[in-house]
Amino acid sequence: MTKQHGRSFAGKVALVTGGSRGIGQGIVRRLASDGAAVAFTYSSSEEKAKRLASEIEAAGGNALPIKADSASAEDLRAAVDQVAKELGELDIFVNNAGIMIRGSVDSYSLEDFDRMLAINVRAAFVGIQAASEHMKGGGRIILIGSNTAVRTAFPGGSV
pLDDT at 68: 98
**Residue 55 within a domain:** yes
Closest CA to 66 of 104, 17, 105: 17
**Residue 152 within a domain:** yes
Q: Alpha-carbon distance 23 to 31, whole Å?
A: 12
- Average pLDDT along the chain: 92
Angle, CA of 52, 39 and 23, to the nearest 5°: 60
Q: What is the CATH number of the domain that holds 80?
A: 3.40.50.720
pLDDT at 6: 63
Considering only residues 145 and 155, tell me which one the structure prediction assigns the higher pLDDT. 145
pLDDT at 145: 83
Per-residue pLDDT tens digits for 110-146:
999 999 999 999 999 999 999 999 999 999 999 998 7
**Residue 146 within a domain:** yes
**Residue 115 within a domain:** no
Per-residue pLDDT tens digits for 39-72:
999 999 899 999 999 999 999 999 999 999 999 9
**Residue 68 within a domain:** yes
User: For the chain, how many structural domains are there in total?
Assistant: 1
Tell me what percent of the residues of the chain surpass a pLDDT of 70. Answer: 91
Confidence at 154, pLDDT banded by 50, 70, 90: low
pLDDT at 113: 95
pLDDT at 115: 96
Q: Alpha-carbon distance 148 to 159, whole Å?
A: 10
**What are the E-state strand segments in 2-152?**
13-16, 37-42, 62-67, 90-95, 135-143
**Residue 64 within a domain:** yes
Sign of the alpha-carbon dihedral angle for 42, 15, 34, 54: negative
**Residue 121 within a domain:** no
Q: Alpha-carbon distance 114 to 118, whole Å?
A: 6
Confidence at 1, pLDDT banded by 50, 70, 90: very low
Are 110 and 158 contacting, i.e. CB atoms less than 8 angstroms apart? no
Q: How far from each other are the two terminal CA atoms of the chain, in whole angstroms?
A: 37
Residue range(s) defining the domain that contains residue 24: 1-110+139-159
**Residue 104 within a domain:** yes
pLDDT at 126: 98
Closest CA to 140 of 98, 99, 97, 89: 89
* Residues contacting residue 111 through CB under 8 Å, at least 6 positions apart: none
Q: What is the pTM of this model?
A: 0.90
